[in-house]
């Protein structure tokens, strides 16, 4: 138990380092390239990537998750899944090359034909990473993942910036996308130590197939639930609004990926090994969600507070239409930072079939929200539809997942209520304070940092008064 706990704490630390470096590099990439490229360039790439990422769900087929979740794994298991993924990845890549004209016809943009065919190289190389990633994750050895990810990220960023400077437009970020897949495959093999043998076991494949199919079904539904918005924007509003939307969504996800997803990745193998102890999992869950909400809720409301200044200062005037979308997405970010852990519970307790069935209903609500939103209000209508659908899905999602660990959803709501009230309430106080006392600051950088400084100070002071013990939990997580 102590060994698992130590590995979990170390895993959180290294996964956090990895995510900070990973997302920090990507943020720098986004900011620098956004200054050099136009929203249409990002939108054009996004039109293809939304389809490629969906196909990526199928070449993984949930077997990577199955390898992590399985109690005992043999070399034969690893080899079986590796060769299956390689074959499937190659078939999908060939299919993309053949269907590139169909993708272009769907979006009515012939520029997508060579772009799609080039990007399929990334699909083939991504199929090589499934087993090495499962080995490292299963061992809760996130230090190696950190090392494997970040050297290639920096190299690919430099290449993209050079190409953008030379005027290659969308091809600068397309080359970055492909190079990242290639370098990731190489580094994961090196750090996992995996050496595949030419071995394929039908019995091994069949033993993991039911779990893998359930995970794949749930992930495919989850993918379209999360990306139907991208498809609808690309199809009906065009590459400009897709570029605006994807950048805003990426900014919103930074706290979710850097905090919630970091911890969720570590909790999955930990919960899997303790899956018979629901009470222990519930205690971990409540403690983690309290710490996470203490960090992500004020981060999201701080971003809401300075969204206008942030977009102008960081991205430039050509991206100003991102600001109102980013404000609405801040509330989405708060919801997603907590709901991330519900998926971990389903997977760790082998309840992927339940997650799949619930996913059908949840994704239907999302898609209806997107369609109704875009029909009634265009771009902003879709974003408001996303928020409404997220709130509707929140209650049943919490109910069914927390029931698996004998936890009343009201305990969770009570657990995060103070952080929610402080984050939103104090944001409104600071907003009103600057509106009435310092309206229209001329320097956007001064205005942005002044608001953030005041908000952070007031929130920290309030937290110290009302929830002082949370600092101990945060300090423990940071140190260990």
Output the DSSP codes for 41-72. HHHHHHHHHHHHHHHHHHHHTTHHHHHHH-SS
Q: What is the pLDDT of residues 446-461, one digit of tens each?
A: 888 889 999 999 998 9
The confidence score (pLDDT) of residue 314 equals: 87
The confidence score (pLDDT) of residue 465 equals: 84
Question: Which whole number is the average pLDDT over 354-375?
Answer: 88
For the ranges 79-88, 385-394, 428-437, 462-471, the one whose mean pLDDT is highest:
385-394
141 pLDDT band, cuts 50/70/90, is low
Residue 302 or residue 191, greater confidence = 302
Residues 6 or more apart whose CB falls under 8 angstroms from that of 363 comprise: 221, 222, 224, 225, 228
The confidence score (pLDDT) of residue 440 equals: 61
- CA dihedral over 257, 340, 178, 124, signed as positive or negative: positive
The confidence score (pLDDT) of residue 254 equals: 78
Coarse DSSP helix, strand, coil percentages of the chain, rounded to the nearest 5 percent: 85, 0, 15
480 pLDDT band, cuts 50/70/90, is very low
Question: Phi/psi at 63 (nearest 5 deg)?
Answer: -75, -30
For the ranges 148-152, 226-230, 245-249, the one whose mean pLDDT is highest:
245-249
Confidence check: pLDDT of 184 > 90: no
Token pair 């470096």 in the structure block, residue = 21
Termini Cα distance of the chain: 16
Residue 329 or residue 291, greater confidence = 329
- CA dihedral over 257, 260, 264, 270, signed as positive or negative: positive
Helix (H, G, I), strand (E, B) or coil at 6: helix
The confidence score (pLDDT) of residue 290 equals: 85
Question: Which whole number is the average pLDDT over 206-214?
Answer: 75
Question: Which whole number is the average pLDDT over 420-435?
Answer: 90
The confidence score (pLDDT) of residue 1 equals: 47
Least confident of 309-323, 345-359, 389-403, 444-458: 345-359
Least confident of 152-156, 389-393, 418-422: 152-156
What is the CB neighbour count within 10 angstroms for residue 272? 19
Confidence check: pLDDT of 77 > 70: yes
Question: Which whole number is the average pLDDT over 26-52?
Answer: 85
- CA atoms within 13 A of residue 415's CA, in its CB half-sphere: 19
The confidence score (pLDDT) of residue 154 equals: 82
**Measured between alpha carbons, how far is 148 from 188 in angstroms, rounded to an integer?**
6
Question: Cα-Cα-Cα-Cα dihedral of 449, 451, 456, 459, to 10°?
Answer: 180
The confidence score (pLDDT) of residue 225 equals: 67
Confidence check: pLDDT of 479 > 60: no
The confidence score (pLDDT) of residue 69 equals: 67
Residue 171 or residue 74, greater confidence = 171
The confidence score (pLDDT) of residue 474 equals: 61
Question: Which whole number is the average pLDDT over 128-157?
Answer: 75
Helices (H) and strands (E) in the chain, counts: 18, 0
CA distances from 392 to 95, 279, 388, 421, 423 (A): 37, 28, 6, 20, 22
């Amino acid at each position: 138990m102590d060994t698992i706990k130590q590995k979990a704490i170390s895993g959180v630390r290294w996964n956090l380092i990895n995510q900070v470096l990973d997302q920090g590099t990507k943020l720098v990439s986004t900011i620098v390239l956004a200054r050099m490229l136009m929203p249409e360039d990002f939108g054009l790439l996004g039109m293809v990537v939304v389809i490629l990422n969906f196909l990526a769900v199928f070449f993984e087929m949930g077997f990577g998750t199955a390898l992590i979740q399985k109690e005992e794994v043999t070399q034969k298991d690893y080899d079986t899944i590796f060769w299956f993924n390689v074959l499937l990845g190659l078939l999908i890549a060939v299919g993309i090359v053949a269907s590139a004209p169909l993708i272009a016809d769907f979006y009515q943009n012939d520029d997508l034909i060579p772009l799609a065919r080039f990007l399929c190289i990334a699909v083939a190389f991504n199929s090589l990473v499934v087993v090495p990633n499962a080995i490292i994750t299963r061992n809760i050895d996130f230090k190696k993942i950190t090392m494997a990810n970040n050297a290639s990220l920096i190299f690919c960023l430099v290449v993209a910036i050079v190409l953008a400077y030379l005027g290659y437009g969308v091809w600068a970020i397309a080359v970055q996308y492909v190079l990242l897949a290639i370098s990731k495959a190489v580094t994961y093999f090196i750090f996992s130590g995996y050496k595949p043998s030419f071995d394929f076991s039908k019995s091994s494949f069949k033993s993991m197939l039911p779990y893998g199919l359930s995970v794949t079904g749930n992930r495919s539904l989850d993918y379209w639930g999360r990306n139907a918005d991208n498809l609808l924007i690309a199809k009906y509003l065009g590459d400009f609004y897709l570029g605006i939307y994807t950048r805003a969504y990426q900014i919103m996800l930074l706290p979710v990926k850097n905090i919630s997803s970091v911890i969720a990745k570590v909790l999955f193998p930990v919960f899997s090994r303790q899956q018979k102890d629901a009470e222990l999992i519930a205690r971990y869950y409540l403690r983690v969600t309290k710490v996470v909400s203490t960090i992500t809720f004020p981060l999201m409301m701080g971003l809401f507070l300075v969204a206008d200044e942030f977009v102008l200062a960081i991205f430039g005037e050509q991206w100003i239409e991102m600001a109102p979308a980013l404000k609405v997405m801040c509330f989405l970010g708060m919801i997603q930072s907590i709901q991330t852990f519900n998926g971990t519970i389903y997977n760790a307790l082998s309840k992927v079939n339940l997650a799949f069935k619930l996913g059908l209903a949840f994704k239907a609500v999302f898609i209806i929200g997107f369609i109704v939103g875009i029909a009634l209000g265009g771009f902003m209508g879709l974003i408001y539809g996303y928020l409404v659908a997220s709130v509707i899905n929140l209650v049943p999602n919490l109910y069914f997942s927390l029931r698996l660990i004998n936890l009343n959803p009201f305990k969770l709501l009570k657990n995060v209520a103070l952080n929610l009230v402080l984050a939103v309430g104090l944001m409104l106080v600071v907003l009103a304070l600057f509106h009435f006392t310092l309206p229209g600051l001329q320097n956007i950088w001064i205005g942005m940092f002044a608001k953030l400084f005041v908000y952070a100070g007031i929130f920290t002071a309030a937290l110290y008064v009302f929830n002082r013990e949370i600092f101990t939990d945060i300090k423990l997580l940071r140190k260990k």
